[in-house]
Amino acid sequence: MIIRILTSAYSRLSWAGWGLFLLLLLINVLISPLAQAQRIKDIANVQGVRDNQLVGYGLVVGLPGTGEKTRYTEQTFTTMLKNFGINLPANFRPKIKNVAVVVVNATMPAFIKPGQNMDVTVSSVGEAKSLRGGTLLQTFLKGLDDKVYAVAQGNMVVSGFSAEGLDGSKVIQNTPTVGRIPNGAIVERAVLSPFANGDYLTFNLHRADFSTAKSLADTINALLGPGMARAIDGTSIQVSAPRDVSQRVSFLATLENIQIEMANESAKVIVNSRTGTIVVGKDVRLLPAAVTHGGLTVTIAEANAVSQPNPFGEGETVVTTNSQINTAEENSRMFMFNPGTTLDELVRAVNLVGAAPSDVLAILEALKMAGALHGELIVI
């Protein structure tokens, strides 16, 4: 009741009032955990609070002869020299074996400010054999709007290496053409965030689910009061929030630790056709069905025979092919699924019949076509 009174007047609360409100809310969250519940921060993210990808094009120098000599490497190198006031003749082609052109990429975290550092990844885009021992020269990192948000430079950490012999033999471990520079970029421009704008905070679920969205909204309303949160769709939940930035941070810090009970996922069977991995959800059920499994194996062996004539017979050597075909049929086993068969019973029956992953996929597809599989069959 105290929480409801404070919530209805949250816009008029002083700093002391907000402190008491958050304390009561935190105590309520801690003393009443839900069974099999998860925190909001583990299942959803706040709209507008996101990372941004940056990319740049630059040069790595100082390589011990493992660089490259291509037209775009020469052009990039020449352009760099021009920036320092050095102009090469038009037909002059520099001999550079310790230089490589690279692409530099980084992920800019939310709320990072100018002057802070972040890690960068440097990847060769040409014929360089290794970036080990190289140094990245100043490289501008741009966003989707083509604006420079950070500048990268520094010595790289390359975990891979390669060695090549004179006879062409080669040994490569890991990836020598990709390196990392810890804290190798300095942020020059901040990305504006809509976090402090408006009267609402919006939570976006990592996995869209109408039941989970309603449960999250109902849980927040039960703690803060009716109408404080509402589910917009199966992904987004809108929550009223204070306008003051400091109060909003404290409000969100407490709100994201609320525990809610997750809704059960829809019944699914996931099949990876490339690896043979099959995952069956716990809510998958089977209607009465009978399945038989067996296979016919055909083996064909080719044997070449050579017929050699006598030394003075003036005959010709003849090569003949002998084919042997063998067939073997496995003993078929039939098993029947009762109504409402569970996951354990399905796995036990499939293991009993000794089916390979490809055979299991065929069985599941047949059950789905027969209408005996209650669940979505997804092949990836």
Q: What is the pLDDT of residue 4?
A: 40
- As a whole number of angstroms, the distance between CA 20 and CA 14 comes to 10
Give Cβ neighbours of residue 93 (< 8 Å, ≥ 6 apart): 74
Confidence of residue 244 (pLDDT cuts 50, 70, 90): confident
* Residue 261 pLDDT class (50, 70, 90 cuts): confident
Q: What is the mean pLDDT of the chain?
A: 76
The answer on pLDDT for 211 being more than 80 is yes
Residue 183 — pLDDT band, cuts 50, 70, 90? very high
Higher-scoring residue by pLDDT: 164, 22: 164
Radius of gyration of the CA atoms of the chain, in A = 33
**pLDDT bracket for residue 321 (50, 70, 90):** low
pLDDT at 258 over 80: yes
Which has the closest alpha carbon to 74: 55, 99, 39?
A: 99
Per-residue pLDDT band for 347 (boundaries 50, 70, 90) equals low
CA angle 237, 241, 242 (to 5 degrees): 170
- Report the range out of 47-61, 93-107, 346-360 with the highest average pLDDT: 47-61
Q: Residue 51 — very low, low, confident or very high, per pLDDT cuts 50/70/90?
A: very high
Q: Is 225 left (phi over 0), alpha (psi -120 to 50) or beta?
A: left
For 256-270, give the DSSP string. TT-EEEPPPPPPEEE
- Please, what CATH class does the domain formed by 2-49+194-261 belong to? alpha beta
Q: Among candidates 227, 220, 210, 226, which has minimal Cα distance to 262?
A: 210
* Contact between 349 and 342 (Cβ < 8 Å): no
Q: What per-residue confidence (pLDDT) applies to 270?
A: 81
Find, among 168, 159, 207, the residue nearest to 42 by Cα. 207
DSSP 338-363: PTTB-HHHHHHHHHHHT--HHHHHHH
* More confident site: 84 or 35: 84
Please compute the mean of the pLDDT values over residues 294-306 and round it to a whole number: 53
Distance of CA 217 to the CA centre of its chain: 28
| DSSP codes, 60-100 | EE--SS-----HHHHHHHHHHHHHTT----TT-----SSEE
**pLDDT at residue number 3:** 41
pLDDT of residue 18: 42
Q: Is 246 helix (H, G, I), strand (E, B) or coil?
A: helix
* Interval 120-145: pLDDT, tens: 999 998 888 888 889 999 999 999 99
Count Cβ atoms within 10 A of the Cβ of residue 4 and give its class: 0-12 exposed, 13-18 middle, 19 or more buried.
middle
pLDDT of residue 25: 44
The helix/strand/coil state of 375 is coil
Does the global pTM surpass 0.75? Answer: no
Residue 36, phi then psi, degrees to nearest 5:
55, 40
Q: In the prediction, which pLDDT does 182 show? A: 93
Q: Where do the domains of the chain lie?
A: 2-49+194-261, 52-187, 269-295+330-379
Predicted pLDDT at 36: 60
CA 64 to chain centre: 35
Average pLDDT over residues 1-14: 40
Hey, what are 377's tokens? Answer: 């069959």
Weakest mean pLDDT among 38-42, 173-177, 219-223, 243-247 = 173-177
* Of the listed ranges 202-211, 322-331, 358-367, the one predicted with least confidence: 322-331
> What is the structure's pLDDT at 334?
54
Residue 199 corresponds to which amino acid?
A: D
Mean pLDDT across 170-174? 61
